Structure 1
Amino acid sequence: MTIYHHLNDETLMAYAAGSVSESMSFVIATHLSLCPNCRNKVIEMESLGGVALEDETQLAMQSGALDTVLGMLDDDFSKEKLTPANDQNKSDIPMPLAQYIPSELNEIKWKNMAPGIKTFPLTEVKAGSGSVRLLKISPGVTIPEHSHSGSELTLVLKGSFSDEIGRFKAGDIADLDDDTNHQPIADSSEDCICLVVTEGPLQFKALVPRLMQYFVGM
């Protein structure tokens, strides 16, 4: 798998520092399981962070600090985030996504969202006012034009899509903020399946998609 679109350095830095939400961390960790480039960057950032901590003046630990650290070590995302998927998982599902869905993409029980678009919400991952879901887009189908209320990460698992930014294939991730306005289209002969996390509702431009949004909560 050749990956052309990676996470922004700012996103990786925030992830390495532990300052992203659970839902964002989940999708970032899933991309890291596929992408050695981004994995290596996170390792370097964490190493630099460790050096910086060693240089800091020692301070007294707050009460409960040890319990907090042990809790972080028990977190599934933290344990799996830098482990290549192929080392743990022989299906077409990368880790840590594999623990939330069937062992094969074709076994997922999709829900109809719109003509040519199906969804599978990952309700077990806390997303606050946003959402985490899988999208399955039929060949040639376009997601209506929209912007974002907050950040959005879209990781391609199968197929491909194109938008104003470029073409995204399996393993690629679109790291977008609220300044991005785009209209993705599934541009290959197979379904495009993506893992998508948003920090807030999408901002659709047309009336019909906005009405659809009311029912599907995206």
Structure 2
Amino acid sequence: MIKSHPSEGLLQAFVAGELPPALALCVSAHVDMCRLCQRDVQRLEAQQAEYSLEQAPVADQAPLPDELDHMLSAILAMPEAPADSPKASKITKISKHIHWNQQKFLLPRALQQQVNHQPALQAGESWRQLGKLWRGRLAEHDEWRTSFYYIERGGEIPEHTHKGREITLVLSGSFVDGDEVYQEGDFIYRDGSHTHKPGADATEDCLCFTAVEAPLHFTTGATRLLNPLGKLLY
């Protein structure tokens, strides 16, 4: 059961089209997985549509000129294209899964199109390893970075805080952050007010999708030596 969701304000900004692309992608992917947030988005879309109608000026409906009227009538009278026409049949098949470690994971619809533009990532061939952590970079969106993380059971990311926002969406397995255990579909928001050492549960591997706005800032041990290289690592 999904227990962690985007805030109401974040959903409102998503519906209004006000989020950065990477953050909007995370919210959209979560909504694909969460019936509760699907209902909330539908409610917010209806509210926004009602507000837009209330604000729209009422224009006098003048009749169409004869030329436009004839053109519209001709368009409406055109027969529908047959289902087996060349234009109707040229549809690229979209894979719904990402493959990794001899497994395949079903992706939310919002991520399927993104991954299909990167065949090596989709096939699990362009991932990079750091201990029990594997990262597959998806894309860069201005200052944001989006990636898949596969964490082997018991693996964890060294303790760190953030110079910007970090969104984690759990796609499979159990993701542990402090005393909280998150499952498939959970949406986890972190920023500079959080210091944490997240990772996979000791009993199973974990696949996540993340969007990071700025480099992580490591806070303990030898990992602090990596901070000057933050721009290269995130």
- TM interval, short-chain normalised: 0.7 to 0.9
Please tell me whether residue 95 in structure 1 is matched to residue 94 in structure 2: no
1:107 to 109, 123, 128: 123
Give the Cα–Cα distance (whole angstroms) in 2 for the partners of residues 8 and 58 of structure 1.
32
- Match in the other structure for 1:77: none
- Match in the other structure for 1:22: 21
Give 3-state SS (helix, strand or coil) of 1:10's partner: helix
Gaps of 5+ in 2: 60-94, 98-104
Q: How far off its partner does 1:106 sit?
A: 8.6
Change (3 A) 1:212 1:111: farther
- Cα contact 1:110–1:118 (8 A) shared by 2: no
Once the two structures are superposed, what CA deviation does each residue of 1:45-66 show, in whole Å capped at 9, x if it has no partner? 1111122222226399xxxxxx
- Match in the other structure for 2:79: none
- Cα contact 1:34–1:94 (8 A) shared by 2: yes
Give the Cα–Cα distance (whole angstroms) in 1 for the partners of residues 152 and 112 of structure 2.
23
**Superposition RMSD on alpha carbons, in Å?**
2.7
Give 3-state SS (helix, strand or coil) of 1:20's partner: coil
Letter in 1 for 2:133: I
Q: How far off its partner does 1:118 sit?
A: 0.8
Give the Cα–Cα distance (whole angstroms) in 2 for the partners of residues 15 and 100 of structure 1.
18
- Match in the other structure for 1:160: 174
% identical aligned pairs: 27
1:1-218 counterparts in 2 under 5 A? 2-56=1-55, 58=57, 89=96, 92-101=106-115, 107-123=123-139, 126-164=140-178, 166-206=180-220, 208-212=222-226, 214=229, 217-218=233-234
- Pick the structure with greater CA Rg: 2
Question: Per residue, is there more strand in 1 or in 2?
Answer: 2
- Cα contact 1:130–1:201 (8 A) shared by 2: no
Give 3-state SS (helix, strand or coil) of 1:182's partner: coil
Give 3-state SS (helix, strand or coil) of 1:179's partner: coil
- Cα contact 2:128–2:136 (8 A) shared by 1: no
Change (3 A) 1:59 1:199: farther
Give the Cα–Cα distance (whole angstroms) in 2 for the partners of residues 177 and 206 of structure 1.
18
- Cα contact 2:218–2:226 (8 A) shared by 1: no
Q: How far off its partner does 1:173 sit?
A: 1.2
Change (3 A) 1:13 1:178: farther
Q: How far off its partner does 1:190 sit?
A: 2.6
Change (3 A) 1:210 1:129: farther
- Match in the other structure for 1:85: none
Give the Cα–Cα distance (whole angstroms) in 2 for the partners of residues 111 and 177 of structure 1.
26
- Match in the other structure for 2:89: none
- Cα contact 1:129–1:201 (8 A) shared by 2: no
Name which structure has the greater RCO, CA cutoff 8 Å, separation 6+: 1
Change (3 A) 1:56 1:101: closer
